[in-house]
């Protein structure tokens, strides 16, 4: 009821102080449960990732690369950094669409921005050239990790 | 007025915490800088749930200050190396994952429920998953938590016909996956960002404003 009382005041012309107080109070009430301000430039990264995983036939690697490029451009203009993994994904789509030099550059950028990624990016590069990594699962009787 | 505000505040806060906070000892000692999120196990009937989950989780985990390995590349890497079944991937020894990926920690997700159930006069969308974070060197559990969000069709005061229509509309929307995606987004943010039950801040988190 209190929230319903507060909401109309946000739409009243003028009374900007009252609006500010109502908004602040609303935000305060919900602040324990909602996310903080976002550090990275996300745009529609979630969509591109989902499409790559689940609906790759929906568009092409070149188009996905273009979408990511737009996010990077936006990041340059807003000053919000590019999220972890995005340059790596860009590199992968460049590689898939035959743009080897751009791919190498994007992967290198990922390693420079996020040194935590070095081991994996180097391994991905080798995998793309056909190298196989041994990853043998252990046959378990009980799920002791869960 | 003051009392109403207090009651609302308490009920909103308590809605976010329903069980004991986890033991953070291992987590604080390990202080991982990176998290490898593995393809989730899926107990639900929604085939796309793991992909939705992976695409949604990356953001809050990264915002919490961790390097998150690009989930689509991780998926591709496993595929190129002959592993396409999540259960097999979950059974790889964690130290091997540390060696191959250079990951400090590994996140295991088991999706228990994802999608909607439809009764005649109501429709309920639910997302439910158990999430566990494990140190990649020692194999020790660092943290675990549960994502659970439910949304029913709102048919209050609409009468029987109204309730049926409302349920059908919710069902139609839920079949598109939009409701479940929204629930997963808000649920995962609530899970990872919880001040008492969530992930501790990773090394890449921005310092608080003013410090």
Which helix (DSSP H) or strand (DSSP E) does residue B67 occupy?
A: strand B67-68
C-alpha to C-alpha distance for B179 and B181, rounded to whole angstroms: 5
B75/A92 Cβ within 8 A = no
Nearest-CB residue to A145 (from B54, B70, B134)? B134
Q: How many residues does chain A have?
A: 146
A54/B48 Cβ within 8 A = yes
Output the six-digit token pair for B10: 């308490």
Instruction: Residue B101: list chain A partners with CB under 8 A.
Output: 119-120, 123
Instruction: Residue A83: list chain B partners with CB under 8 A.
Output: 58-59, 62
- One DSSP character per residue, A17-68 reads HHHHHHHHHHHHHHTTTS-----S--TTHHHHHHHHHH-GGGS-HHHHHHHH
Contact status, residue B138 vs residue B147, Cβ threshold 8 Å: no
pLDDT given for residue A144 in this prediction: 46
Q: State chain B's mean pLDDT as an integer.
A: 87
ipTM value: 0.82
Nearest-CB residue to A46 (from B56, B76, B132)? B56
DSSP class of residue B134 equals E
Condensed to tens digits (0 to 9), the pLDDT of residues B26-79 reads: 999 999 999 999 999 999 999 999 999 999 999 999 999 999 999 999 999 999
Q: Tell me the three state secondary structure of residue A76.
A: helix
């Amino acid at each position: 009821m209190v929230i319903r009382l507060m909401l109309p005041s946000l739409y009243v012309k003028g009374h900007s102080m009252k609006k500010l107080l109502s908004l602040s109070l609303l935000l305060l009430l919900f602040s324990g449960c909602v996310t903080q301000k976002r550090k990275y430039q996300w745009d529609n990264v979630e969509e591109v990732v989902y499409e790559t995983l689940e609906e790759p036939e929906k568009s092409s690697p070149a188009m996905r690369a273009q979408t990511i490029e737009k996010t990077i451009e936006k990041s340059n203009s807003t000053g919000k950094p590019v999220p972890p993994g995005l340059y790596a994904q860009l590199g992968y789509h460049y590689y898939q669409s035959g743009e080897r030099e751009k791919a190498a550059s994007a992967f290198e950028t990922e390693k420079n921005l996020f040194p935590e990624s070095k081991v994996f990016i180097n391994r991905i590069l080798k995998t793309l050239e056909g190298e196989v990594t041994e990853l043998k699962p252990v046959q378990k009787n009980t799920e002791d990790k869960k | 007025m003051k009392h109403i505000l207090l009651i609302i505040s308490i009920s909103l806060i308590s809605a976010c915490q329903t069980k004991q906070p986890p033991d953070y000892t291992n987590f604080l000692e390990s202080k991982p800088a990176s998290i490898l999120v593995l393809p989730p196990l899926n107990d639900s009937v929604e085939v796309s749930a793991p992909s939705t989950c992976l695409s949604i989780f990356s953001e809050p985990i990264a915002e919490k200050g961790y390097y998150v390995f690009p989930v689509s590349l991780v998926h591709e890497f496993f595929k190129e190396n002959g592993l396409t079944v999540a259960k097999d991937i979950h059974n790889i020894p964690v130290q091997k994952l540390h060696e191959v990926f250079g990951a400090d920690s590994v996140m295991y997700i088991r999706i228990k429920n994802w999608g909607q159930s439809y009764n005649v006069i109501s429709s309920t969308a639910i997302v439910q998953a158990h999430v566990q974070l494990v140190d990649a060197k020692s194999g020790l559990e660092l943290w675990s938590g549960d994502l659970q969000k439910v949304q029913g069709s709102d048919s209050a005061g609409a009468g029987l016909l109204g309730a049926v229509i409302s349920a059908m509309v919710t069902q139609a929307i839920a079949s598109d996956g939009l409701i479940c995606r929204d629930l997963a987004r808000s649920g995962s943010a609530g899970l990872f960002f919880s001040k008492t039950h969530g992930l501790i801040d990773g090394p890449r988190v921005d310092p608080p404003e003013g410090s």
